Each structure stands twice: as structure tokens, then as C-alpha cells.
Amino acid sequence: MKKRFSIVARLASFKNAWRGVTVFVRQEHNAWIHCTVTVLVIIAGLVFHISILEWISVIFAIGLVLAAEAVNSAVERLSDIVQPEKDDRIRDVKDICAGAVLLCAITAAIIGIIIFLPKLLMVF
């Protein structure tokens, strides 16, 4: 039987999701790196007065990388619970997830280069 829609339940789900974000940011070292780069990119965007479309691209890239890293962290934690011993299949799953984060980070870096390199070259 399906549960009925409940505002209270929806608010609780947001609370749980926010808890997940805070656990991710507090406990995952790679999240610290991504957050540090995020702050630097935002500062660069403010310094160089990037356009609204450039902000949209930057924000989308930041969100993509952070979301991919969060999913990767969740898969790694779950994999360690399901199979604590060394297992080549689990290794492959973890490597594929890490590869997805790498692809997102490369994409974000390319977006950053397209946006910021011309602005940096104008300074020098």
C-alpha cells in the first residue's frame, strides 16, 4: 500500500539529505579538495566578473563534480560493508565510480579553462 503525500515526511527527507551532505563534507577528504577548489573558482568568478552564462556553467560544473564525488563515496562505503574482504568485482565497481568522478572533474576543468584562461591572458 502506498503512503499518502505528507509535507512532514518531505521535510524529514530534506533533513536526511542535508545530513548526508554534511557527513560527506566533514568526512570525505576528496570533498575537502573539491570544496577548496569551489571556493577558489567562485572567488575567481567574482574577481573576473564572469557573465551569467559563465556562472551557470561554473555552478553546473561544481554541482556535477560534488554530486559525482558524493555518489562515489556512498558506493565505496556500501561496498566496504557488503564485501569487507578484497574482491576484484568490488574493486572494479569502486574504480568505475572513481572514473566517473574523474570524467566530471576533467569536464569541469575544461569549462574552467574555457571561461578563465582568456581572462587570465588579458591580465598578463
Q: Quick: pLDDT tens for 77-118.
A: 999 999 999 999 999 999 999 999 999 999 999 999 999 999
Find the Cα–Cα–Cα–Cα dihedral 85, 98, 34, 114, rounded to 10°: 170
Residue 48 binned pLDDT confidence (cut-offs 50, 70, 90): very high
Residue 89 pLDDT: 97
Q: Is the distance from CB of 54 to CB of 45 less than 8 angstroms?
A: yes
Query: pLDDT averaged over the chain?
Result: 96
Neighbours of 78 (CB within 10 A): 12
What domains sit in the chain, N to C, each tagged with a CATH number? 30-123 (1.10.287.3610)
Residue 3 binned pLDDT confidence (cut-offs 50, 70, 90): confident
| CB contact set of 71 (below 8 Å; sequence gap of 6+) | 97, 100
Quote the CA–CA distance of 104 and 97 in Å, as a whole number.
11
